[in-house]
Amino acid sequence: MAYRWKNDLTQADVTPKSMFLNRRQLMGGAAGLGLAAAAGGARAQGALEPNTLEEIRTYNNFYEFGTGKEDPARNAGGMVIDPWSITVDGLVDNPGEYSLASLLDGLTEEERIYRFRCVEAWSMVVPWNGFELADILAKVGVKPEAKYVAFETTVQPDVMIGVQRRVIPFPYVEGLRLDEAMHPLTMLATGIYGEPMAKQNGAPIRLVVPWKYGFKSIKSIVRISLMEEEPPASWNIINPREYGFYSNVNPTVDHPRWSQASERKIGGGLFATRQDTLMFNGYEAEVASLYEGMDLNEFY
Amino acid sequence: MQVVGGINTGLRKVPAWLVYLAGLGWAAYLFWLGLSNQLGPEPINTLERLYGDVAIKLLILGLAVTPLRKWPGLNLMKFRRAIGLTAFGFVLAHFLVFAILDVQTLERVWTEIVKRPYVTIGMAGFLLLIPLAVTSNNLSVRKLGGAGWRKLHKLTYAAALLGAVHYLWLVKGFQIEPVVYTALIVGLLLTRIKWSRARAVFA
């Protein structure tokens, strides 16, 4: 089942390691010469250039570790990720508590370079390493009555400052319709740039659904449940007027806080220009059929 | 009280223009941090927030001048105009980063102001501050007369409250900073209420 979707980008498009480690330095040097604007502009045009590992690891939303973008990188160090087990329950043939290794055993790991669009109107391009969720679901056996998949993030209050402060209700939960979960684009990722997933990025295993706003791509998963009813989703519970269950990237459906028509790719410096946001984050050809006949203004 | 007296004596030697200089220097330093890639991967948003944060802190400090003089007896009166004008400078810088670097086109600026309540509120606070900044000089005080000038400048109360609501509204989830700022502003405004008169009215 792996390789059902092929990158239109190849390995050659991934910035070589020496480059992605150095680019910040190069940018810094350019800024010193007063060329920041030119460099920012040039980068914004190369729309699908992956972000640097440093950018991906230092600009995160992971409210368990604080609400600032730099907080997760600073505070996630104490999270225990080894050993890691995932409870699979609900409408499955083989429920149980799986170790990470046993859940992934025998599956094919792939690299997928995806756009990543946050509901806050910023975006990145991330070279993920991981597995098609469909392969994992096939392994545990989905019962025919199952219509949705629910996910839950670990809660480790002692090492999670955001949990202590009750920033939002925890555990963080998310969900997908089964056809969304089975879609070839949907993956569970365990690494970025060929490196193990950093804790602030959702180690050791997280969901990646590239055509939905980033908060759907739940991090540090400890439970996967197959269910018949639509499962709860954290931001939808916190503020149902602003966050729907589907939360597909859609430039024509505005969020009350942020215009979704345009976005700014992270890494363009102080003079980065905005770019138009694409329908379904650029994956319209692949996923539009999932929502045929649905009013996306109603099911936002 | 001796300590306060000592501070007051010391402050007498500090010229008020140092506040402007410090404000300008700090604003320029933050901008330079952004320019030289030292504000993280998303310098525009960070700079926007940093300017907004200094602005609300200075607004709070400005509101604290009168109560500080009343109770511990700390006299910052001579710096109040400079604190207010510097606060306005940071609000202006915050707006400019929002309009020019963040949202980038006039059309989008307008859409943001009209469509997003927290932007509308922030903008209202900014507009209220403009007449205050314009009249923060001796000539205006003379022209408006002391009583008229003081009346006009009570708009700072509304502006500070709008700033607090703007901050409360824009954050996601429960965050401590905007709550603390709001509590401080409300507390400082409560010190303005003349309780004897209020009691007379409500009795």
Would you call A58 an interface residue with chain B, using a CB distance cutoff of 8 Å? yes
CA dist A240 → A233, A243, A300, B157, B167 (Å): 10, 5, 10, 33, 21
Is residue B200 domain-resident?
Answer: no
Q: Residues B112, B119: contact at Cβ < 8 Å?
A: yes
Asked if A27's CB is within 8 angstroms of B42's CB, the reply is no
- Which of A27, A32, A274 lies at the smallest CB-CB distance from B104? A274
On chain B, the residues whose CB falls within 8 A of the CB of A32 are 36
Residue A271 touches partner B, C-beta closer than 8 Å:
yes
Nearest to A218 by CA among A139, A291, A154, A296: A154
pLDDT at residue A35, rounded to an integer: 39
Tokens for A125? 């391009």
| Contact (CB<8Å) B37/A238 | no
A14 touches chain B (CB under 8 A): no
Q: Is A69 on the interface with B (CB under 8 A)?
A: yes
Q: Does B110 touch chain A (CB under 8 A)?
A: no
Does B83 contact A at CB distance below 8 Å? no
Q: What is the ipTM of this complex?
A: 0.84
**Residue A219 pLDDT > 70:** yes
d(CA A172, CA A62): 10
Task: List the one residue out of A201, A199, A194, A209 whose CA is nearest residue A84.
Answer: A199
Show residues of chain A in contact with B173, CB under 8 Å: 63, 67, 167-168, 238
Of the candidates A63, A17, A72, the residue with the CA atom closest to the CA atom of residue A194 = A17
Sign of the dihedral through C-alpha A242, A243, A247, A249: positive
b (16+ CB within 10 A) / e for A262-289: bbbbbbbbbbbbbeebbbbbbbeeebee
Q: In whole angstroms, what is the distance from residue A266 CA to residue B32 CA? A: 19
Q: Tell me which DSSP letter residue B102 carries.
A: I
State the smallest CA–CA distance between residue A272 and chain B in angstroms: 8
Residue A8 pLDDT level (bands cut at 50, 70, 90): low
Of B47, B102, B116, the CB nearest to A256: B116
* pLDDT mean over A157-181: 97
CA distance A76 to chain B (A): 18
- For the domain with range A13-291, which CATH number is right: 3.50.50.60, 2.40.10.10, 3.90.420.10, 1.20.120.1780? 3.90.420.10
Tell me which residue range forms the domain holding B117: 2-195
Q: What is the pLDDT of residues A263-292, one digit of tens each?
A: 999 999 999 999 999 999 999 999 999 999
**Closest-CA residue of chain B to A235:** B173
Question: How many A/B residue pairs have CB atoms within 8 Å?
Answer: 72
What's the confidence (pLDDT) of residue B7?
93
Domains identified in chain B, total number = 1
How far does the CA of residue B120 sit from the closest CA of chain A (Å)?
11
Question: Is B202 domain-assigned?
Answer: no
What pLDDT was estimated at residue A25? 44
Q: What is the pLDDT of residues B109-140, one digit of tens each?
A: 999 999 999 999 999 999 999 999 999 999 99
Dihedral pair phi/psi, residue A82, rounded to 5° = -145, 115
Q: Is residue B118 less than 8 Å (CB to CB) from chain A?
A: yes
